[in-house]
Structure 1
Amino acid sequence: MENNEGKNAPKQSHAIVVEDFISQSLRWGVVISALIIALGLVTYLFTGDSGYPAGFFPTTISQVLKDVTHFKSFAIIDLGLLLLIATPIFRVAASIIAFIFDRDRPYVMITTYVLAMLILSLLLGKAE
């Protein structure tokens, strides 16, 4: 019995480490995105200017990143929102890596499919 317990212990501790990493990344992703959004809101409140003409918002990631370097408040808020959206997508990608290390092929395939659908929905989605 001791041999079976010894074999399961490293795998359980590996799973705990992976789950802890994923859990921490989700927490930090939410905290960092909230701080960035708050920074954008504070910038907007102090300047009173979104950085854009009325009714215009950045709609591409490259435009958001470019406008963040110019400290446009709505671009900063958008960056925080993009990070918030990316956080669970990162979790799915990290899960694929964890399943690869665990050699759990069915879950690798399922999670890869989920990640592909998430990315596809982002690429095909349109802002109007």
Structure 2
Amino acid sequence: MNQKIETETKDIELIIGKILRIGVIVAATVIVIGLAMFLIEGTGGYPAGAHPSRPAAILQGVVALKPYAVLMLGLFLLILTPVLRVVVSIYAFIKEKDRLYTWITTAVLVILIGAMIIGYLG
């Protein structure tokens, strides 16, 4: 039984590592694409002082192939990577039946989501 839990823990740790690597690689790729678009076009695609800051505006800008929106999408993906890691960690602690760390990690996730909502509304 203990060996099974250790194996599952190692598997979850490997998944967390892959999530972090893939998240950073995808985010960096999107940022590099946005930067290349910016250098080729010579403009961010928005008037001076204007830029997308809400997810819907970022997605609209990405669909319209605006370089600044693509850069913002890359940064948004980079921010989401550790949040996804927290979600997977909650799953790992539930699987290990570690209630204390499940609650602590859930509190961290609630704080992260609250901060994102405050940032979105502010």
* TM > 0.5: yes
Q: Percent identity?
A: 40
Partner amino acid for 2:9? A
Higher relative contact order (CA 8 A, sep 6+): 2
Alignment of 1:19-34 (within 5 A): 19-34=13-28
Contact 2:54–2:120 (8 Å) recurs in 1: no
In the alignment, the residues of structure 1 paired with residue 61 and residue 118 of structure 2 have an alpha-carbon distance, to the nearest angstrom, of 23
5+ residue gaps, structure 2: none
Q: Does 1:10 align with 2:12?
A: no
Contact 1:59–1:127 (8 Å) recurs in 2: no
Contact 1:49–1:73 (8 Å) recurs in 2: yes
Off by >6 Å, runs of 4+ in structure 1: none
Q: Aligned to 1:11, what secondary structure does the other structure show? A: helix
Q: Which of 1 and 2 has greater Rg?
A: 1
Q: TM-score with structure 2 length normalisation?
A: 0.95
Q: Does 1:51 align with 2:45?
A: yes
Q: 1:112 to 1:127 in 2, by over 3 A?
A: closer
* Matched residue, 2:60: 66
Q: Note the aligned Cα RMSD (angstroms).
A: 1.4
In the alignment, the residues of structure 1 paired with residue 113 and residue 121 of structure 2 have an alpha-carbon distance, to the nearest angstrom, of 16
Partner amino acid for 1:24? K
Q: CA deviation at 1:10?
A: 1.2
Q: TM-score with structure 1 length normalisation?
A: 0.91
5+ residue gaps, structure 1: 1-6
In the alignment, the residues of structure 2 paired with residue 51 and residue 125 of structure 1 have an alpha-carbon distance, to the nearest angstrom, of 24
